[in-house]
Structure 1
Amino acid sequence: MRFAAIADVHGNYLALEAVRADIRAQGIGEIVNLGDMASGPLDARRTMDALMALDAVHVLGNHDRWLIDRPVEKMGSWERPAYAQLDTMHLDWLRTVPSTQIFRDRVFLCHATPADDNVYWLETVTPDGSVKMSSLEAIEKEAEGISQSLILCAHTHIARAVRLGDGRLVVNPGSVGGPGFSYSVPFPHVIEAGTPDARYAILEFSDASWRVAFRHVPYDHDAMAALARRNGDAEFASALSTGWINV
């Protein structure tokens, strides 16, 4: 069993295109998408068209939910520009996507944690704004009740794999389209990938255990950074340009 996991595309069509090409080059036919598909100051319409046409298993992210569960005047700064590009068919399709799924009986899929689509799982933010790895105890607590041997999550845009004490593996594939952002919950902090590459993961079940390979894929990130800048988001433009936020 071998498949690719993508997440956090955030309207970055060129990054998605590059990742899909790399997945094909690896000879992989199955894909799971862990959500946060369109929101951001980029190309929501083309991204949603591509994802809706993709033969993949999808789960809904918090930014996806915010596009469909509230009026536009209550949307955030990443939802409003995406919403303006989307048609009813895109939003209706998002309404059909579940918050969690089981893939081929062996893999549990969620966006952030199994119980909450807007809580960090493998990372913890301290009151001073530092981002560090969560404790094994805290990670295992969120995994209670999940019988699958592989658990996939996303949300933080940080590629990471954690082996639980009972042998289960929790993996965040990193972000296809967003190498950095700032956020105020639970405390103000910054996430930075350090490079502008698109990220995804290849998962393989072999010899009775899971193996993960994290892929970093170059693409024309400068074009996407220029688009973010034209659309008035200097912070996201900086992250797309360098993998760092320098504004």
Structure 2
Amino acid sequence: MRLAVISDVHGNALALEAVLADIDRHDVDAVLNLGDHFVGPLEPVRTAGMLAKVEMTAIRGNTDRYLVDADPDLLDTHDQETLAALDDATLSWLRALPETRVFEDQVFLSHGSPLSDETYWLDRKDRKAFRVATGDEVAAELPSGKRYPLYCCGHTHVARVITLDDGTVVFNPGSVGRPSFTMSDRDSASRWSAAAAYAVVERSAEGWHVNLRQVAYDNMAAAAIANAHGSAKWARDLEHGRTR
């Protein structure tokens, strides 16, 4: 079984287009989508049209939840613009998405951790610094009951793989639309990149293998779109890779 896992598109249609083209070259059996689809000063309508054509298993992220559940008057300007731009069919699709999901009795999907869509599962913030979560900290967020061999999460935009002592693999594919950096539990060096991030995971006789991928796209054009929508911060992140 070979799967593509995407997360945190955030309305970046240019990045999504490049990632979907890369997925097509990997002959995957299914696409899993971990949420945060549209919020951002980019192209939510075009993104919605592209995602509607993809056969995938999806969940909703925290910004999806804000968009459809929060009082519109409490949303910031960019979120209000996104909400106004999306059609009723897209918003109904978002509302219907579950917060977590299990694929083929093998892969547990969550946006943050399985217990909260706002938890940084594989990262921790100590004072002003971020660090990789320990195995015990990661395991503490696993729900009681049945354990699955593979867990995936998004939210931090940081691509990372952690293997627990019992062999359970937990990973974050990174962000398609607002990439940050890549780090695994076997590699202490972080690699900053503005390339769109996702993962291809494959099951063999030895278990699950996670291939964290980075796909170049016209990130400067995406940055220009963010600037045109009045967000210099997003533009800087899209130019160079998201910073803390």
Q: TM-score, normalised on structure 1? A: 0.91
Counting only pairs closer than 5 Å after superposition, residues 56-205 of structure 1 correspond to structure 2 as 56-127=56-127, 129-145=128-144, 146-180=146-180, 194-205=192-203
Runs of 4+ more than 6 Å apart: none
Identity of aligned residues (%): 40
Q: Is the 8 A contact 1:154 1:174 kept in 2?
A: yes
- Per-residue CA deviation, residues 98-130 of structure 1 (Å, 9 max, x unaligned), is 000110111100100111101100000122x21
For 1:36, the equivalent position in structure 2 comes to 36
* Structure 1 residue 161, shift from structure 2 partner: 0.6
Gaps of 5+ in 1: 182-191
For 2:16, the equivalent position in structure 1 comes to 16
RMSD of aligned residue pairs (Cα, Å): 1.8
- Per-residue CA deviation, residues 121-159 of structure 1 (Å, 9 max, x unaligned), is 0000122x2111112111111114251100010100000
Q: Secondary structure at the match of 2:65?
A: helix
Gaps of 5+ in 2: 182-189
1:210 is aligned, of 208, 211, 221, to 208
Distance 1:20 1:14 in 2: 10
Matched length: 235
Q: Secondary structure at the match of 1:53?
A: coil
* Structure 1 residue 53, shift from structure 2 partner: 2.3
* Structure 1 residue 77, shift from structure 2 partner: 5.0
For 2:217, the equivalent position in structure 1 comes to 219
- Assess, with a 3 A threshold, how the Cα gap between structure 1 residues 245 and 162 changes in structure 2: closer, same or farther: closer
For 2:54, the equivalent position in structure 1 comes to 54
The farther-off stretch of 9-18 and 71-80 is 71-80
Q: TM-score, normalised on structure 2? A: 0.92
